[in-house]
Amino acid sequence: MIRLRARIAARDIDVDLTLDEGVTTAIAGPNGSGKSTVLAVLAGLLVPDEGELVIGDDVLMDAGVFTAPHRRGIVLMSQRVLLFPHMSVRENVAFGPRSQGRSRADARAAADHWLEEVGMTAFATRRATALSGGQAQRVALARALAAEPRILLLDEPFAALDAASVPPMRALLARELADRTAVIVSHDTADLEALAVRTVRLRAGRVTADTPISPPTQEDV
pLDDT in tens, 44-61: 999 999 999 999 999 999
Cα three-residue angle 148-128-42, rounded to 5 degrees: 40
Write out pLDDT tens, residues 103-116. Answer: 999 999 999 999 99
Percentage of the residues of the chain whose pLDDT score is greater than 90: 86
Domains of the chain: 1-68+178-221 (3.40.50.300)
Please write the tens of the pLDDT for every residue from 131-151. 999 999 999 999 999 999 999
Q: Where residue 211 falls among pLDDT bands split at 50, 70, 90?
A: confident
The band of 210, judged by pLDDT with boundaries at 50, 70 and 90, is: confident
Alpha carbon distance 136, 130 (integer Å): 9
Percent of the chain at pLDDT above 70? 96
Contact at 8 Å (CB) between 185 and 156?
yes
Mean pLDDT on 29-36: 94
pLDDT at 71 over 50: yes
pTM: 0.91
- The DSSP-derived string for 154-182 is EESTTTTS-TTTHHHHHHHHHHHTTTS-E
The Cα–Cα gap between 8 and 54 comes to 18
pLDDT in tens, 138-196: 999 999 999 999 999 999 999 999 999 999 999 999 999 998 999 999 988 899 889 99
| Secondary structure class of 1 (helix, strand, coil) | coil
Task: Give the three-state DSSP class for 201.
Answer: strand
Q: Which letter, b or e, does each residue of 159-179 get, where b requires 16 or more Cβ atoms within 10 Å of its Cβ?
A: bbbeeebbeebbebbeebbee
Q: Is the pLDDT of residue 219 over 90?
A: no
Tell whether the model's pLDDT for residue 213 goes beyond 60: no
